[in-house]
Amino acid sequence: MRPNIVLVVTDDLDVPSAAVLPQLDGLLARSGVAFTRAFTSATVCAPSRASILTGLYPHNHGLLLNPAPDGGFPAFRPREGSTLATWLQAAGYRTALVGKYLNSYATGASDDYIPPGWNEWFGRLSAYETRRYVDWWVNDNGQVYHYGTAAEDYSTDVEAKRAVDFARRAATSGQPFFLYVAPEAPHVPSLYAERHGAEFRYELAPRVPSFNEGDVRDKPAFVRNTSLLTDKQIDALDHLQRFRLRCMRAVEDLLGELLQALSESGQIDRTWVFFTSDNGLLMGQHRFYARKGTFYEEVVRVPLLVRGPGAAAGQSRAELVTLVDLAPTILELAGATTPDVLEGRSLVPLLRGQVAPSDWRREVLLEHYTYDQAPNLGAALRTDRWSYVEHSSNEYEMYDLVADPYQLQSLHRTADPGVMGPLAARLRELTTCRGVSCR
């Protein structure tokens, strides 16, 4: 019997913040696999989410920016006919999306538009969204509804109820299901449910060596031109971090309720549950206040926890993996046909506790596009040891992450050409790769 698949994607959850959450470990990590070096494909939301849905890097799926008309949902519409949803639906799965789809959904389409491949749809309407967590709009299977500011309208809780309802109904159908749940948490303004208001009262933004970095002469201009955080800004950052963590507690509640529903319906032992984020966030590191769109570790590394039948429970894996790997992994677990064009690699051997294949990747590609009349590519290569960056501004960074894990001293001006040259060459190869050559 084919397994069910649940994919939970949070919004801007960094690895340091995920590590503070009290229930993730018990809900997922102890019963499954934690990937300690998982990376996004892109440093902002929409391109990353498009990679999850297509198994392609941004330079190939074509969604390069967040906002419409050149990015977000309008840029993705030509790709909507070939996604996880359409592939799994064709393989006999009942599919559902609950929560955020893509930035600017449904700009350029009608508000009742439902993308191909989805049997059930509860998709947040970005065009009408005002505060993410309250006073929000949704396309509920072709009908547009508004949720207000009452406690019962809190978006993560509404999405939890819809996800649980779908899972319970799907369990009685005898048909395997794919459920994609995408709450807005913990994206700013990070409004939290009242029941979690007393938690994390003393939590601070991480005071790591790169926090409010003093000497940034080695950094590109966008960092050098960023002023040191003031005491007032640091205090606000600490408050925001507490809000973000409280906001994520409702996502833990969602996970707990969903796992309980799967257990009560007899589906838990035939369901794979994936938990991740589209990208991370800088919370004071290198002077930045809640900033993404960079290649620093706090932005490009994401949590990735997976539990399911036959998973190596309690195991951590240190292989370099990327969100582009989710599509081929899910398709293999589902017994569905994996299109040859996919650019990630299946994580199934790693989930089963097997030794990684001898040809497992030695680096991952990271992309970020800026816009000046046309999208301009900035890209980074992340290996076991090195982070090598070529910005769209023609500036560079290079870090030895073994000696300098907080990326305090860029070596791009002094690095041995015998080290830096091959990194640059490999980065050039990957930014133009397609299909098998990306793996």
Residues with a known catalytic role:
45
Q: What's the DSSP call for residue 229?
A: P
How far apart are the C-alpha atoms of 188 and 197, rounded to whole Å? 16
Q: What's the DSSP call for residue 324?
A: G
Which is it for strands 386-390 and 396-400: parallel, antiparallel or unpaired? antiparallel
Q: What is the largest CA-CA distance in the chain?
A: 63
**Contact 377/365 with Cβ under 8 angstroms?**
no
Residue 348 DSSP SS3: helix
Of 298, 273, 296, 384, nearest in space to 34 by CA: 273
How far apart are the C-alpha atoms of 282 and 163, rounded to whole Å? 30
Of 49, 46, 76, nearest in space to 62 by CA: 76
**Class of residue 112 by CB neighbours under 10 A (exposed 0-12, middle 13-18, buried 19+):** middle
CB atoms within 10 A of CB 67: 16
How far apart are the C-alpha atoms of 273 and 344, rounded to whole Å? 19
Of 250, 233, 143, 144, nearest in space to 190 by CA: 250
How far apart are the C-alpha atoms of 407 and 273, rounded to whole Å? 33
CB atoms within 10 A of CB 263: 12
Phi, psi of 47 (to 5 degrees): -60, -35
CB atoms within 10 A of CB 198: 8
**Chain centroid, CA 407 distance in Å:** 22
Of 337, 133, 363, nearest in space to 246 by CA: 133
CB atoms within 10 A of CB 340: 7
How far apart are the C-alpha atoms of 336 and 46, rounded to whole Å? 25
**Contact 384/364 with Cβ under 8 angstroms?**
no
